Chain A
Amino acid sequence: MPEYRFVAEGFEDAVRKFEEQKPEAEVKTQFVIPEKDFNTAGKGSSELKNLLKRLGVDSVVLRRIAVASYEAEINVAAHSKGGIMYSTVYDDLIHVRFEDEGPGIANIEQAMTPGYSTADDLVRELGFGAGLGLPNIKKNSDAMRLVSAAGSCTKLEFLIYFAKIS
């Protein structure tokens, strides 16, 4: 399946190590995102934010995680038939994964272009669909992977490290 991968500069080794070692997760949460339910969309990332505040994650990093997870959550609500958000917290980073029920992204490169959007009228009326969701997730994460094809499920995951980027 087509895949888009991004690793921020300076994080190549850390990300490779993480992917190879597949460390045991410390705290896991999951959250169901129903299709086109804009009343509850955002609740998953809001709960994640509260969890991270309890762990004492630095406030600048916290806002990056909040933005990336909120954007991704809205994406699932707006564009898919619903999905699940899985958050996994480690000592030094958070891994957030979104899996939806389709219908998939026909052209991933296009979807990653700022300003490109396939949002329908309902979504736009609610003030979403500016085509900035995926680029914004990329901007705020240290590593990101998007796997999708037309007619299949979409899987999006990102990593954000807790240590401040110096």
Chain B
Amino acid sequence: MNKKDSPYFHAIQILEDNCTGCTACVRVCPTEAIRVRDRKADIDPYRCVDCGNCMDVCEFHAIIPSSDPLDIIHNFKYKVVIISSSFFGQFTEDISYAVAKQAVLELGFDEVAEEAMVTDFMISIIRDYIRENRDKRPILGSNCPAVVRLIQVKYPSLLPNLLHQEAPMSILTRYLREKIAKEHKLLDEEIGIFLIVPCVAHVTAVHQPEGAYKHLQDGAFSTGMIYGRVREILKDIQNHPMDIDTYPQGLTWALSGVQADLVDTDDIRALSVNGVENVMDILSRIEDHYLDQYDYVVLRTCTNGCVGGCLNVENPFVAMSRIKKMSKEGTNNEIHVEELQELYAQGEFTVTPLAPRPIMELDKDIKKAIQKMKKINEFLTMLPGLNCSACGSPSCYALAEDIVLGKASIDDCLVLRRGNPDEDE
């Protein structure tokens, strides 16, 4: 589907040799981006929001994530890794947070930083933003790249409600770029900043950030891949631990519910939503102005938040429980927020207004769109209404739409081709 012309990057790949054309992915895609044609799945890059549902459901290892290989770090003089807050929830409790963090550093980085370092600062930015934008209710959290893209494609009327500030890992990237360039007298292109991310949407966001004014990261590594590498060297490190800063309270950023609780205060009422179906339901209600009593909504397409990301190794509930335990037992190391505050005051963390990526319009001209809708309704009455997906479209309605848009034919309906069983009687 016009892949070559598509302006959009996606971190999800289809291995055609493995695809059996079973249509499991077609049925779970929240934006109806997947079709099976000639027994192979195909993802429409305009519709895909990188939620990862299709990868999770594929039994044939035919839909796989793409993330960057670790050796790209050698293209840079000074290598920095920023670890997403869900990462430390992946390890069993016999492996300490500090040891796991040291192991990441020893994979070849000059410096290791964490999303968890700046989450307190982020909460103050979010509260400022809400108070300055009281005319837009509710403000929608923009940290989950899949949610941002979902709003662009399906709920464009809500784009003005998005929090137009960079997410914590990007804030940290801007800060580190400035600091390292100064301290080590390096050029921007000599500094490589990489993220360890829990999901494909974050890989996509690194390769194609939405609304970024400036150079951010140079690559994104999968939590699962780094976890494997770290496991190999853990034993060695356990015997030679070094003194390393940790931020256990900041790790709760990976839990959508806790994040909402942290933003919630006397004059700000926050709601937390996770799971892509719930997110869509809530976005639709927000469109109807039925959740205007909230000032802020944390939205995450994965179960429980980023701990549910498809690149993680641990179950989202177990990871959540571990992070909660860590945050209760330890306290954050201090970080110097003055420099962050300075950059914030300079507007360094604002993002450009996000543009819609409308996918639903049948035609630019409403008259033609209405005519197409009439034809869709005509085809719909001819189709069996089983929504079996055997044609390769997610529902009979979707097939009718595909036919009218010239992407399928009524002969794709296997049920019609076999003849109507009622007529045989």
Q: Are B288 and A89 in contact (CB under 8 A)?
A: no
Q: B30 contacts the other chain (Cβ, under 8 Å)?
A: no
| In the complex, residue of chain B having the shortest beta-carbon distance to the beta carbon of A89 | B370
| In the complex, residue of chain A having the shortest beta-carbon distance to the beta carbon of B285 | A42
Interface residues of A in 66-89 (CB under 8 A from B): 66-67, 70, 89
Q: B366 contacts the other chain (Cβ, under 8 Å)?
A: yes
Q: How many A-B contacts are there with CB distance less than 8 Å?
A: 62
* Partner-binding segment picked from B65-73, B208-216, B295-303, B356-364: B356-364
Q: B367 contacts the other chain (Cβ, under 8 Å)?
A: yes
Complex interface: chain B residues within 8 A of A46 (CB): 284
Q: Are A51 and B288 in contact (CB under 8 A)?
A: no
Q: Are A63 and B363 in contact (CB under 8 A)?
A: no
- Given A50-B360, A53-B360, residue A66 in contact with residue B288 (CB < 8 A): yes
- Which of B156, B361, B369 has the most chain A CB atoms closer than 10 A to its own CB? B369
Q: A40 contacts the other chain (Cβ, under 8 Å)?
A: no
Complex interface: chain B residues within 8 A of A59 (CB): 156-157, 356
Known contacts A51-B373, A55-B361, A56-B361; 17 further A-B pairs (Cβ under 8 A): A26-B371, A26-B373, A26-B374, A45-B288, A49-B287, A53-B360, A53-B361, A54-B361, A54-B369, A56-B358, A56-B362, A60-B157, A63-B287, A63-B289, A66-B287, A89-B373, A91-B366
Cα-based distance from A26 to B376 in the complex (angstroms): 13
Cα-based distance from A14 to B370 in the complex (angstroms): 21
| In the complex, residue of chain B having the shortest beta-carbon distance to the beta carbon of A71 | B288
Q: Are B361 and A27 in contact (CB under 8 A)?
A: no
The smallest beta-carbon distance between B402 and chain A, in angstroms, is: 13
Chain A 87-123 interface mask (CB, 8 Å, partner B; 1/0): 0010100000000000000000000000000000000
Complex interface: chain B residues within 8 A of A54 (CB): 360-362, 369, 373
Cβ-defined partner of B288 (8 Å) among A53, A60, A67, A91: A67
Q: Which 10 A-B pairs have the closest CB atoms?
A: A59-B157, A56-B361, A53-B360, A55-B369, A26-B370, A70-B288, A66-B288, A27-B373, A54-B362, A54-B360
| In the complex, residue of chain A having the shortest beta-carbon distance to the beta carbon of B286 | A63
Cα-based distance from A55 to B157 in the complex (angstroms): 15
Q: Are B287 and A27 in contact (CB under 8 A)?
A: no
Cα-based distance from A26 to B370 in the complex (angstroms): 7
Q: A62 contacts the other chain (Cβ, under 8 Å)?
A: yes
Cα-based distance from A54 to B371 in the complex (angstroms): 12
Q: Are A67 and B358 in contact (CB under 8 A)?
A: no
- Given A49-B287, A67-B288, residue A55 in contact with residue B373 (CB < 8 A): yes
Complex interface: chain B residues within 8 A of A70 (CB): 288, 290
Binding site for A on B (CB under 8 A): 154, 156-157, 284, 287-290, 356, 358, 360-364, 366-367, 369-371, 373-374, 377
- Given A49-B287, A53-B360, A60-B157, residue A27 in contact with residue B377 (CB < 8 A): yes
Cβ-defined partner of B370 (8 Å) among A42, A53, A55: A55
The smallest beta-carbon distance between A89 and chain B, in angstroms, is: 6
Q: A57 contacts the other chain (Cβ, under 8 Å)?
A: yes
Complex interface: chain B residues within 8 A of A31 (CB): none
Complex interface: chain B residues within 8 A of A66 (CB): 287-288
Complex interface: chain B residues within 8 A of A27 (CB): 370, 373-374, 377
Q: Are B288 and A55 in contact (CB under 8 A)?
A: no
Q: Are A67 and B366 in contact (CB under 8 A)?
A: no
The smallest beta-carbon distance between A47 and chain B, in angstroms, is: 11
Complex interface: chain A residues within 8 A of B364 (CB): 56
The smallest beta-carbon distance between A142 and chain B, in angstroms, is: 17
The smallest beta-carbon distance between A87 and chain B, in angstroms, is: 12
| In the complex, residue of chain B having the shortest beta-carbon distance to the beta carbon of A163 | B366
The smallest beta-carbon distance between A23 and chain B, in angstroms, is: 12
Q: Are A91 and B367 in contact (CB under 8 A)?
A: yes
Complex interface: chain A residues within 8 A of B367 (CB): 91
Cα-based distance from A59 to B366 in the complex (angstroms): 13
| In the complex, residue of chain A having the shortest beta-carbon distance to the beta carbon of B365 | A56
Complex interface: chain A residues within 8 A of B374 (CB): 26-27
The smallest beta-carbon distance between B7 and chain A, in angstroms, is: 20
| In the complex, residue of chain A having the shortest beta-carbon distance to the beta carbon of B289 | A67
User: 18 A-B pairs, CB-CB below 8 angstroms?
Assistant: A26-B371, A26-B373, A27-B370, A27-B374, A46-B284, A49-B284, A49-B288, A53-B154, A55-B366, A56-B361, A56-B363, A56-B369, A59-B156, A59-B356, A62-B157, A63-B289, A66-B287, A91-B370
